[in-house]
Chain A
Amino acid sequence: MKKGPKLIIKNLSLSFEESIIRKISLDVNEGEIVSIIGPSGCGKSTLFNVISGILKQDDGVIKIDGLEEKQRQGKFGYMFQEPLLFPWLKVLDNIMLGFEIKGLEKNQVKIEALDLLKKFNLFEYSNFYPNNLSGGMKQKVALLRTIAFNSNILLLDEPFGSLDAITRSSLHLYLLEIWKKLKLSIIFTTHDIREAIFLSDRVYVLSKKPANVADCIKINLPRPRKIADLTSPKFVEMEKKLMSLL
């Protein structure tokens, strides 16, 4: 029997003074990476705030594993557009944050956090304060903190937006490695078409504000993805197609 999607969003709407999100429907299958691209200010971050439960939708339904969820705080690993690491906590303690909020036992939490740092090559930075890390490092730590929240659905809001091209490309591979090892379902937003194609199984294209799904493109590149894919004819073709949609 085929399993239903991990996350279903149906006819989601939200307005402040004006309509920001209008009847967005999308879904994410288990183990899938889905990206959302759209013009700046169209409502991507707002959409994530609604999905994560920080904002309440005016209308629409959100289902996780087929069940409607009204109280969604704590159900997703949500990484904000800014890294938002706590400057008063060392890297290790920043990563333990999610566990701590869930009220897990401190020693066990530490073991898990250290394990995560080891697994994803940040162990030697455990005792650094965030202010002593480079931008790319901060982003890695923020990513691990999101993962340490132990949710198998991640919402990543422009996770690599503020980074230079080289760091960004290394972090793409980093994310793919994490995704594969931990079998996660991921939705992320980006302005970068190439990033969207390189990482995702499907790309949702949003319209200008009020945000609405303009199109959804399936990316038929084989996995595991490699840097060389970026220049393959298939990739370029998809890039052209998405360009025309924006």
Chain B
Amino acid sequence: MKQHIFPILFGFLVLLTWQFSVSFFHIEQWILPSPIQIIDSFWQSRSLIFFHLVPTIFEASIGLIGAIFISIFIAILMERSQVMKKIIYPFLIISQTIPFIILAPLLTLWFGFGLLPKIIIIALVCFFPITINLFDGFQGVDPSILRLLNSMGANQKQIFRLVKWPASLPAFFSGLRIAAAYSILGAVVSEWMGADRGLGILLIRSTKSYLTDRVFAVIGIITILSIVSVLIVEIIARLSIPWHFNKLRVKS
């Protein structure tokens, strides 16, 4: 708790300075609203924000879950077959340098304004960190452990189930943590291309109407959403790989 006190104090100080600067310098509300105005605006439009929050969460979750399944499939495919690895891996690395977000207009062109193009974008954005982390996890298994299983006469299936999969879970979750944050980002940006509901579209509309306080409120909600999704991944990780976390504790 002690190490949190300074950042909290600092954050408070920033908000306080913000609040007083706005009234002291008479800054117009449409340029920079004060924190209190933002909170007030959030409260005023809470049902509107909630209305737009639901589809964003929905898209992000579906996209992320889709990405998880595809990633696991591709990583296992590359792990099982050297040929597949040689074919896929270079593309994977190149694809890392493409910001998939830029494909959003194209996908809208092809698939319209519905759910599908959004989910595709989100899955594309989330896919890379999970796949690459999981695959690196498979590759990084201690060779001595593999030799041990070999000496016991274990078959490939057993080696995968007993060693490679569990040993790679920490890497998988590091990838998932990044992907979770990307999924919210992907959802918001894909909504900019066109949607009738979603935080992304609410953000655009509020900007166009110079409702700057609501813009801030929505930005705040999006940020919180990202943090919460990462936290959820963290909680799942702690529940499913407790051994990884108690190792860290012993070390420090």
Residues of A within 8 A of B (CB): 49, 52-54, 73-76, 78, 80, 82, 84, 86-89, 97-98, 100-101, 129, 131-132, 149
Contact = CB atoms under 8 A, between A and B. Distances in A.
Contacts of B163: 86
B80 interface: no
B144 A80 contact: yes
A97 to B, nearest CB: 7
Counting from the closest, the 4 A-B pairs by CB-CB distance are A74-B153, A73-B153, A88-B166, A131-B247
B148 A88 contact: no
Most buried by A among B144, B153, B154, B241: B153
B209 interface: no
Interface in B146-189: 147-154, 158, 162-163, 166-167, 169
A54 B151 contact: yes
B144 A82 contact: yes
A78 B144 CA distance: 12
A129 B242 CA distance: 9
Contact of B151 (A73, A89, A100, A132): A73
B82 interface: no
A56 to B, nearest CB: 12
B47 interface: no
Q: Interface residues of B toward A: which range? A: 20 to 34
Interface of B: 142, 144-145, 147-154, 158, 162-163, 166-167, 169, 241-244, 246-247, 250
Contact of A53 (B148, B149, B151, B166): B151
A97 B142 contact: no
A82 B147 CA distance: 12
B169 A101 contact: no
Contacts of B242: 129
Nearest to B243: A129
B103 to A, nearest CB: 38
Contact of A54 (B145, B147, B162, B166): B147
Most buried by B among A82, A87, A88: A88
A149 to B, nearest CB: 6
Nearest to A131: B247
A131 B151 CA distance: 24
B144 A131 contact: no
A131 B243 contact: yes
Contacts of A52: 151
28 contacts: A49-B151, A53-B151, A54-B150, A54-B151, A73-B150, A73-B153, A74-B151, A74-B152, A76-B151, A80-B144, A80-B147, A80-B148, A84-B142, A84-B145, A84-B148, A86-B145, A86-B163, A86-B166, A88-B166, A88-B241, A88-B243, A88-B244, A101-B152, A101-B153, A131-B243, A132-B246, A132-B250, A149-B152
A88 B243 CA distance: 6
B89 to A, nearest CB: 26
A88 B165 CA distance: 10
Most buried by A among B150, B169, B250: B150
A116 to B, nearest CB: 16
A131 B147 contact: no
A84 B250 contact: no
Given A88-B241, A131-B247, A49 B144 contact: no
Contact of A84 (B144, B241, B243, B247): B144
A146 B167 CA distance: 21
